[in-house]
């Protein structure tokens, strides 16, 4: 996974994706890649990484598989009943280094907890992905304006 990768690396990967989109659509090198990416239904690299992390987290939380990943996600159990206790959120462990923030045990809860509650409450993988992708596309469009 590329979660936590420095911005300079994302810039390089985004340029590569832009060039690949131009090649696929047979456009010139100076053509703006954003409309091409949209027509191909490709998310920008950084948003794609977030999408993949959120999808993997959903699969891990909803089905507890693979077991080696589900063991890394701890859910907070409230001491007393709360309104939000119907969907407890995974806890984000404390870390001492920047490198430790890239670990799945930290990245998965951060990504999951940052999603809106309507996306987190989806019951099936297909519904979750549909809501997540529309959310990501909306974010990309808002950032490009």
- Which pLDDT score, from 0 to 100, does residue 66 have? 87
Look at 72 and 81; give whichever has higher pLDDT.
72
Q: Is 47 exposed, middle or buried (0-12, 13-18, 19+ CB in 10 A)?
A: middle
Instruction: Retrieve residue 41's tokens.
Output: 């239904």
Q: Is the pLDDT of residue 133 over 70?
A: yes
Instruction: Retrieve residue 123's tokens.
Output: 């019951």
- Which pLDDT score, from 0 to 100, does residue 25 have? 96
pTM of the model: 0.85
The strand ranges marked E within the chain are none
Q: Where are the domains of the chain?
A: 7-70+95-144
Q: Is the pLDDT of residue 89 over 80?
A: yes
Q: Is the pLDDT of residue 145 over 80?
A: no
In angstroms, rounded to a whole number, what is the distance separating the alpha carbons of residues 145 and 131? Answer: 22
Residue 80 CB coordination number (10 Å): 5
- Which pLDDT score, from 0 to 100, does residue 86 have? 60
Find residue 75's DSSP bridge partners: 90
Contacts of 25 (CB under 8 A, 6+ apart): 36, 39, 40
Secondary structure letter of residue 74 according to DSSP = -
- Which pLDDT score, from 0 to 100, does residue 77 have? 73
- Tell me the per-residue pLDDT of 12-48, one tens digit each, with 9 for 90 and over: 999 999 999 999 999 999 999 999 999 999 999 999 9
Q: If pLDDT is split at 50, 70 and 90, which confidence band does 99 have? A: confident
- Which pLDDT score, from 0 to 100, does residue 85 have? 52
């Amino acid at each position: 996974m590329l979660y936590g990768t420095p911005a300079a690396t994302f810039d390089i990967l985004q340029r590569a994706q832009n060039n690949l989109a131009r090649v696929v659509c047979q456009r010139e090198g100076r053509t703006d890649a954003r409309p091409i990416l949209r027509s191909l239904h490709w998310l920008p690299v950084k948003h794609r990484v977030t999408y993949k992390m959120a999808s993997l987290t959903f699969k891990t939380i909803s089905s507890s598989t693979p077991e080696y990943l589900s063991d890394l996600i701890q859910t907070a159990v409230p001491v007393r009943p709360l309104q939000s206790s119907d969907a407890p959120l995974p806890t984000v462990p404390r870390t001492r280094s920047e490198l430790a923030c890239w670990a799945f045990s930290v990245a998965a809860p951060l990504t999951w907890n940052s999603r809106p509650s309507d996306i987190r409450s989806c019951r099936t993988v297909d519904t979750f992905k549909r809501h997540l992708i529309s959310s990501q596309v909306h974010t990309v469009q808002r950032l490009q304006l």
